[in-house]
Amino acid sequence: MMTNSDLENLIAAWLDGRISEAESESLQQELRESAEARATFNTFAQLDAVIREVADTEGVGAILQASGSSVSIPKRATPPYARALLAIAAGIIIALTAVLYFQPMKAGRNIVRIKGLNGTLTWIGDGGQMVQGSDSPQTPTRWSNVLGKGAELPGGTIEGMAPDSWFELEFHDGSIGMISGDSILTFSDQGQKELRLKQGRFSASVVPQPAGKPMLIHTPAAELKVVGTRFDVEAGPASTMLYVREGKVQIRRVSDGKTVDVPADHRVVVTADSDMLLRFVGPDRTWAQTPVWENLSTSGNQDSIATQETRDYDGTRNLILSEEPAALPAQDTGHTIRSGDLLEIRYVWRSDKWWTAQDQVAIKFFTTDNDLMSGTPTFFATLLSGTPTGDGTYQAGSGRATATETESGKKLFVAIDTQDGGGELDGVAHVDNFQLQVTRFRKPGLRRLDDFQLEGTPFSDPPPAPTPTIIIGGNVRNGDFNGK
Amino acid sequence: MKIFCPDRLPAVVKGMVDQSAEKRSGSNDDDRYEAFVRLLVEHEPRVRSFLRGLLPTWYEVEEVTQEASLVAWRKFDDFEEGTSFGGWLLTIARFEALKYRRRVARSRLVFVDEVWDLLAEEASGEEVQQIRRQHLEICLEKLGAPKRDLLLHVHAHGVVMRKVAEESGKSEQAFYKVIQRLRAVVLDCVLKEIATEGA
């Protein structure tokens, strides 16, 4: 039987993960034989759990001189996590660390409310503490408590773990921000909002901030000062793209300090060697401003947004595709179907907010009972895109279908729809450079050129071999969505 | 069709919506959701405490807690109202911990079967005295701010105690002794608080 002191030391060594093999055997021997030892063990484990709960849900203040105890800690331990980040962007981190790590926090003070969330999210730290052991078994874990809509949070780091993850927060002054996809955002508010977008996409609508205290956003490549505006920012390891929708945002390149004011409807890309020139971004256009294409949705609202220039494929406008029933782009191709027509489509697309890993673009061919778009549709072919890569890049979509006698003689209509796979009808995707071509083959049973030649009948002007005709594509029927 | 307002679910149970959605409909969904969240919030600390005595690192505790929460959500239709949700959740957690243990059984930190079973059995008993947060908070206040902050800091998410020890300028052994002494003081205080409460 070991002493209480020895037992408690072994329990502590086990809880701290520093127990040796021999000590572990001693501890287990004692636990096997003594109910009292097990009760002590259980009590210390409980205590450890409750201390952990308090430490994690309160912002733990800066570690002070541990006066009165036998240990003196001259400064707060710099987390290994911070060291790793320092290696990436020392300049940014030094400034941010000063705020987030060393500034005493008001314990447990909530600064944001969760407006909505989706998918797998990881909560890395709280109370602005943001510490993480890179070589520790205590690696970051998901927030196992309830992280629900309407809940309030102190400062901390939220990370989207999947392409369909998103997290929308609202500061107490009404400023709203949202990350989507594989993004990592740290947020704090000590009288001045300070955020760090380590990677990914962050959209925000910021109410006017107090004089001299703009919202600061740090990315690996740039720093943003936001007084009050709407904007989107995308951050990668070496580049940052800022698109300002309203107001003005100042952006400063970390590497050389070059600063640019970005006005509304402009965007700028910051890399180590970019010229940081402003590029005008045309405002979103409605269906009414988008020729040929119509919104065939149940509401049919032609004033809703149809195309935009952000999230572009080739620097031009693209079609916004939504799972919501409020939008269904379609057009009358002007083509009259003949049996055997080969319909081939190709396009590029990318997933965006709330688009799950199972959602797909669905190109649908249909006819109507009166050959008008407003008629009752009969869908005769659906061509699916496949699932998204989820990495924020455009991917190719294509497919083909053959018209039958049933459709013959009717007008061909095409719709760019979605096929839900994730159970939620709110995903957004972008489509560009849509092309539809038709190859018309002769009807089976008609005589062919060979038939005439076999009969000895000269046929000096043979019919051409079937070739595809592009009926939508580029500026033909606004296949690039750039027409106005 | 969006049947069950999945955006209202906690992230931890979000992934289960698809499987559950077809079984649920109508306003009862919201009630079930609210009931589950309320019960989970109430009983999760007990689960974490329980798992802490079985699993050697917090990483594992968090993982298994989350897994147990997900399983509980999946099976929530099977839970009978009026019975003990805490006991039900603890049973799920124990099973999930066992599954996890099989993957890491060779670690020196993982107890052998016999010890594991004894600890699991005794820690899950209804009669086990529970240390509650309010007990601890009273005792932490009594420690004084520097010691309180130190103790909380070394227990905070992701903090590597060895590194804190290094930066304290003290030897690791000396540092661990300080922390262990603080724990012992707090535990003594907590047990007195519980006894006073029960008196």
State the DSSP string of A159-191: EE-STT-EEEEEETTS-EEEEEEEEEEEEEESS
Tokens of B184: 């012992």
Looking at CA atoms only, how far is residue A144 from chain B in angstroms? 5
Q: Which of A94-108, A314-328, B153-167 has the lowest mean pLDDT?
A: A94-108
Q: Which of A237-246, A348-357, A430-439, B133-142 has the lowest mean pLDDT?
A: A348-357
- On chain A, the residues whose CB falls within 8 A of the CB of B161 are 16
CA distance B75 to B95: 14
Are B21 and A31 an interchain contact pair (Cβ–Cβ within 8 Å)? no
Phi-psi region of B197 (alpha: psi -120 to 50; beta: other; left: phi over 0): alpha
User: Looking at residue A454, what is its pLDDT?
Assistant: 60
> Which among B49, B111, B164 has CB closest to A46?
B49
Are A69 and B170 an interchain contact pair (Cβ–Cβ within 8 Å)? no
pLDDT at A388 over 70: yes
Measured at the CA of A468, the angle between CA A462 and CA A474, to 5 degrees, comes to: 140
What's A415-471 look like in SS3?
EEEEECCCCCCCCEEEEEEEEEEEECCCCCCCCCHHHHHHCCCCCCCCCCCCCEEEE
Measured at the CA of A303, the angle between CA A312 and CA A412, to 5 degrees, comes to: 75
- On chain B, the residues whose CB falls within 8 A of the CB of A74 are 167, 169
CA distance A105 to A101: 9
CA distance B109 to B102: 13
Looking at CA atoms only, how far is residue B92 from chain A in angstroms? 15
Q: Which residue has the higher pLDDT, A79 or A369?
A: A369
Other CB atoms within a 10 A radius of the CB of residue A212 amount to: 6
Give the three-class secondary structure for A239.
coil
Listed ranges A211-220, A337-346, A425-434, B105-114; the one with the highest mean pLDDT? A337-346
What's B25-62 look like in SS3?
CCCHHHHHHHHHHHHHHHHHHHHHHHHHCCCCCHHHHH
> Which among B156, B170, B190 has CB closest to A71?
B170
Are B183 and A425 an interchain contact pair (Cβ–Cβ within 8 Å)? no
Mean pLDDT of chain A: 78
- On chain B, the residues whose CB falls within 8 A of the CB of A17 are 56-57, 109
> Which among A9, A21, A47 has CB closest to B108?
A21
Helices then strands, counting H and E runs in chain A, come out as 5, 27
Q: Which residue has the higher pLDDT, A97 or A232?
A: A232
Q: Which residues pair with A329 in a beta bridge?
A: A295
Are B15 and A60 an interchain contact pair (Cβ–Cβ within 8 Å)? no
Are A142 and B155 an interchain contact pair (Cβ–Cβ within 8 Å)? no
Looking at CA atoms only, how far is residue B185 from chain A in angstroms? 11
- Provide the whole-model pTM: 0.44
For chain A, the residue count is: 484
CA-closest candidate to residue B84, choices B46, B51, B130, B48: B46
Q: Locate tokens 């009050």: which residue?
A: A228
- On chain B, the residues whose CB falls within 8 A of the CB of A322 are none
End-to-end CA distance of chain B: 56
Instruction: Confirm if A362 and A387 have CB atoms less than 8 A apart.
Output: no
CB < 8 Å from A in window 18-77 of B:
18, 21, 37, 40-41, 44-45, 48-49, 52-53, 56-63, 65-66, 69
CA-closest candidate to residue B58, choices A18, A440, A52: A52
Q: Is B112 on the interface with A (CB under 8 A)?
A: yes
- On chain A, the residues whose CB falls within 8 A of the CB of B69 are 144
CB < 8 Å from A in window 140-179 of B:
140, 144-147, 149-153, 155-164, 167-170, 174-176, 178-179
Instruction: Return all residues near A377 (Cβ < 8 A) that are at least 6 apart.
Output: A366, A367, A368, A413
Selected for mutation to probe chain A from B157, B162, B190 (highest A CB count within 10 Å) is B157
Tokens of A144: 């196992």
Q: What is the mean pLDDT of residues B101-126?
A: 81
CA-closest candidate to residue A27, choices A10, A9, A45: A10
Roughly what angle, to the nearest 10 degrees, separates helices A35-57 and A4-15? 40
- Does ipTM surpass 0.90 in this model? no
Instruction: Return all residues near B37 (Cβ < 8 A) that are at least 6 apart.
Output: A146, A148, B10
Q: What is the mean pLDDT of residues A315-326?
A: 87
What's chain B look like in SS3?
CCCCCHHHCCHHHHCCHHHHHCCCCCCHHHHHHHHHHHHHHHHHHHHHHHHHCCCCCHHHHHHHHHHHHHHHHHCHHHCCCCCCHHHHHHHHHHHHHHHHHHHCCCCCCCCCHHHHHHHHHHHCCCCCCCCCHHHHHHHHHHHCHHHHHHHHHHHCCCCCHHHHHHHHCCCHHHHHHHHHHHHHHHHHHHHHHHHHHHC
Band the pLDDT of B101: cuts 50, 70, 90: confident
Instruction: Return all residues near A6 (Cβ < 8 A) that are at least 6 apart.
Output: none
Sign of the CA dihedral running B176, B181, B187, B193: negative
Give the three-class secondary structure for A53.
helix
pLDDT at A108 over 50: no
Q: What is the mean pLDDT of residues A80-100?
A: 32
Q: In this structure, which amino acid lies at residue A290? A: T
pLDDT at A190 over 70: yes
Measured at the CA of B37, the angle between CA B32 and CA B38, to 5 degrees, comes to: 100
Q: What is the mean pLDDT of residues B136-147?
A: 88
> Which among B12, B122, B161 has CB closest to A146?
B12
- On chain B, the residues whose CB falls within 8 A of the CB of A180 are none
Looking at CA atoms only, how far is residue B191 from chain A in angstroms? 10
Residue A103: DSSP 8-state:
S
Q: Which of A18-27, A153-162, A242-251, B4-13 has the lowest mean pLDDT?
A: B4-13
CA distance A398 to A421: 19
Please write the tens of the pLDDT for every residue from A236-285. Answer: 888 899 999 888 899 999 888 899 999 888 889 998 888 898 888 877 88
Instruction: Confirm if A313 and A430 have CB atoms less than 8 A apart.
Output: yes
Q: In this structure, which amino acid lies at residue A384? A: L
CA-closest candidate to residue B60, choices B104, B18, B28, B9: B104
Write b or e for each residue in A113-138: b if 16 or more Cβ atoms lie within 10 A of its Cβ, otherwise e. Answer: bbebbbbebbbbbbbbbbbbbeebeb
Instruction: Confirm if A338 and A410 have CB atoms less than 8 A apart.
Output: no
The number of C-beta contacts closer than 8 angstroms across A and B is 269
Instruction: Confirm if B12 and A142 have CB atoms less than 8 A apart.
Output: yes
Residue of B nearest to A69 (CA): B147
Looking at CA atoms only, how far is residue A392 from chain B in angstroms? 22
CA-closest candidate to residue A194, choices A287, A85, A93: A93
pLDDT at A93 over 50: no
> Which among B6, B62, B186 has CB closest to A144?
B62
Write out the E strands in A211-264: 215-218, 222-226, 229-235, 240-246, 248-253, 259-263
User: Looking at residue A456, what is its pLDDT?
Assistant: 62
Q: Which residue has the higher pLDDT, B22 or A331?
A: A331
pLDDT at A95 over 60: no
Q: Environment class of residue B168 by beta-carbon count within 10 Å: exposed (0-12), middle (13-18) or buried (19+)? A: buried
Instruction: Confirm if A103 and A109 have CB atoms less than 8 A apart.
Output: no
Quote the longest CA-to-CA distance of chain B: 62
CA distance A450 to A125: 78
Q: Which residue has the higher pLDDT, B153 or A426?
A: B153
Please write the tens of the pLDDT for every residue from A197-220. Answer: 988 889 999 988 888 889 999 998
Are B150 and A142 an interchain contact pair (Cβ–Cβ within 8 Å)? no
Q: What are phi and psi of A40, to 5 degrees?
A: -65, -45
Q: Give the dihedral of Cα atoms B172, B173, B179, B185; nearest 10 deg.
A: -170
Residue A473: DSSP 8-state:
B
> Which among B7, B21, B136 has CB closest to A118?
B7
The distance from CA A173 to its chain's CA centroid, rounded to whole angstroms, is 25
Measured at the CA of A63, the angle between CA A61 and CA A68, to 5 degrees, comes to: 120
